[in-house]
Amino acid sequence: MISLMDKQKIIIDGFLGGKSQWAIHRETGFDRKTIRKYIREYEEKRVMLLEGEGDKLILTKEIVEPPRYDASNRTNIKLTEEIMDKIDFYLEENEKKIQAGKSKQQKKRIDIHECLEEEGYDISYSTVCNYIKNKLDEKKEAYIRQEYDLGDVSEFDWGHVKLEIGGESKTIQMAVMTTAKGNYRFAYLYQNQKMESFLDSHVRFFNHVGGVHKEIVYDNMKVAVARFVSKTEKEPTEDLLKLSMYYGFKYRFCNARRGNEKGHVERSVEYVRRKVFSKKDSFETLEDANKYLEEELRKLNSKPQKYNENKSAKEFLEEELPHLIELAPSYDISRVVELRVNKYSVINVDENKYSVPDSLVGKFVTAKVYPNNILVYHESELIAEHIRSFGANTWNIKIEHYLNTLKKKPGAIHRSTAMRQMNSKLQDIYTKYYTQNPRDFIDLIELISKEGLEKIEEAINELEKINPLNIDTEKIKLLCNRQEETIEENKYKNTEIEEHSKLILNHYGDLLKNSSVDFDKEALII
C-alpha cells in the first residue's frame, strides 16, 4: 500500500511536473497501473471540484487523503504457490542484506504484506505471518554431528570487514579457511573477491599449514562454480579445476542455502571478524592490517578449546600434518590477459590504465594480474611492473616508459600525467633545476635508471656546495663516474694494505715460533 507522500510524488512531482507515466515509474518504482489509477482519479476529482460538481468536502477528502483499498469486492484467495514464491523471494532478499551488513534494512512482515498487496495479491496479514513463522521454523532442523579424520577436510568462505585504511573507510574482503578437524583458522584480507585473490588465499593457506587437506568445501560462489548442471551437480571454474589438479585435493560444493554443510568456516568468518577487528579497525595500510590479523589468529589458534578435548587448534593441526597431501611449490595464481598497447602507451586492466615502454605502442603484451601488483611481459621479457590500482579509470604512469617520446617532445613533460605521478623528490629536482631545460631532465631520468636516485641526490648535494646555480645532467654524470673511480681505487688500496699486513704478521710468526704467543694462521686485517 502506498503512502500519502507516495501519492503526492506521483501527482505533484510527476504528473503535474510534466513527466510521463514511464518516467514516474522509473523514479518511484511503482507499477504503471497504480500510477495510471491515481492520475486518472486525481484528474476526475479535480475537474469535478473546479466545475462545482459533487460534494466539495468529499472530493477534497478523496484528493488529499491517503490511498484506500476497496476490499468489499475482494474474494478470499488461498495461499498459492505463486504467493509463497514471492514471500520466499523477500525472505532470501533479507538474508542477503544480513550478509551484506544491512540487517537494519530488512523487510519486516508488515512490509512483505504491503508489497504483496501493491502487486495485487489478496492475502491477509495474519496468513503472511503464519507462513513466515512456519518457514523460519523449518530452518530449526536437527543436524547430524560429523566426525572427521586427520588431514581430511578444510573449508573456504568469503566475508567482509569494514576498516579504516590510511584514513579512508573501506569495505575489505576477507578470505577465511578453517580445518574441519580442529577448527584451525586462517584468514587474509583483499581488495576484492576476484579469482586471483581466491587462488592466492589458497596458496597462502597451504604454505602456512605446510600441506594440503584431501578435500576442500565451498558454497556456490562464482569464483568456484562455473555453472549449475542440475540442482545437485555443479561445474567448477577452470581455475579451481587447475588448482585442485596442481595440489591434488578434491573439491565439494554445498547445497544451495545450506551453510551448515560448511559450518566450521561459516562460524569462523563471524568469529574472526568479531574477535580480531572489534579491538582494532584502523590501519595505515592493508599490509599492516594483514600483519595484525596474522598475529591475532596466532593467539586464537593457540587457545585451548573446551569443547574439543581441551586442545588448541594449533595442536590439532600438528597432529594433521603427517596426514596432509605433500606441499608442492607455490602455484602461480596470476590472472593472465593479452592486451594491445594503445596510443598513450598504456594497457587497460579492470578499467584502470598502466604504462609500458613507448616503443610498444600498437603491440600486444601479456599482463599477469596478481592481487596487489601487475607484471607486464613482451615476448617473455618483463618490461613493466605496477602496484595494482583498485579505483575506476585511474592512470598509473611511470615517466621512464616515455623517454623516447619525451626526447622528441620535451616540452610535453611539464603538464603530463607522468610528471604528476613522478616521485616527489624527482619533481623537486625538476622544479629547482630543469624547468628551463626539460630535454636535459629526460637525460637525467635515463641516468637515474642506471645509477639510482640516491646516488643522483648525493651528486646534486656535492654540486650545490660548489655552484648551486650551475647544475646540469652532464656535471651530475661526471661526478657519479668520479665516485665510482674513487671506490675502485680505495678497493685496490685496501687490498694492498691487507696483503702487506699479512706479510708482516707471518714475519712476526716466524720470529716468535718458539714463543708462548700463538698467532692465528687465518688472521686478517679488516
Q: Pick the closest to residue 358 from 399, 394, 320, 395 (CA basis).
A: 399
Examine the pLDDT at 107 and tell me if it is beyond 80.
yes
pLDDT at 102: 73
Is the distance from CB of 202 to CB of 243 less than 8 angstroms? yes
- Cα(454)–Cα(461) distance, rounded to whole angstroms? 11
* CATH T-level topology, domain 153-323: Nucleotidyltransferase; domain 5 (3.30.420)
- Cα(446)–Cα(403) distance, rounded to whole angstroms? 8
Q: Pick the closest to residue 337 from 323, 347, 329, 324 (CA basis).
A: 347
pLDDT at 319: 94
Q: Determine which of 253-267, 292-306, 442-456, 465-479 has the lowest per-residue pLDDT on average.
A: 253-267
Examine the pLDDT at 488 and tell me if it is beyond 70.
no
Q: Determine which of 150-159, 243-252, 450-459, 490-499 has the lowest per-residue pLDDT on average.
A: 490-499
- Cα(508)–Cα(301) distance, rounded to whole angstroms? 62
Examine the pLDDT at 513 and tell me if it is beyond 60.
no
**pLDDT tens, position by position, 377-400:** 999 999 999 999 988 888 888 888
pLDDT at 265: 57
Examine the pLDDT at 246 and tell me if it is beyond 70.
yes
Beta bridge partners of 89: none
Please identify which residue in the block is written with the cell numbers 576477507: 174
pLDDT at 505: 59
Is the distance from CB of 227 to CB of 235 less than 8 angstroms? yes
Is the distance from CB of 399 to CB of 419 less than 8 angstroms? yes
What global pTM score does this model have?
Answer: 0.58
pLDDT at 4: 59
Give the rounded distance of the alpha carbon of 184 from its chain centre.
24
Is the distance from CB of 69 to CB of 1 less than 8 angstroms? yes
Largest interatomic CA distance in the chain: 138
Is the distance from CB of 393 to CB of 352 less than 8 angstroms? yes
Examine the pLDDT at 311 and tell me if it is beyond 70.
yes
pLDDT at 201: 96
> To which H or E segment does residue 161 belong?
strand 153-165
pLDDT (mean) for 274-280: 89
Is the distance from CB of 285 to CB of 166 less than 8 angstroms? yes
If you average pLDDT over every residue of the chain, what do you get?
80
Residue 244, all three cell numbers: 585442485
Q: Pick the closest to residue 370 from 203, 222, 147 (CA basis).
A: 203
pLDDT at 502: 63
**pLDDT tens, position by position, 210-230:** 999 999 999 888 899 888 877
* DSSP H stretches of helix in 259-304: 263-277, 286-301
Examine the pLDDT at 468 and tell me if it is beyond 60.
yes
Top mean-pLDDT range of 2-16, 191-205, 254-268, 381-395: 191-205
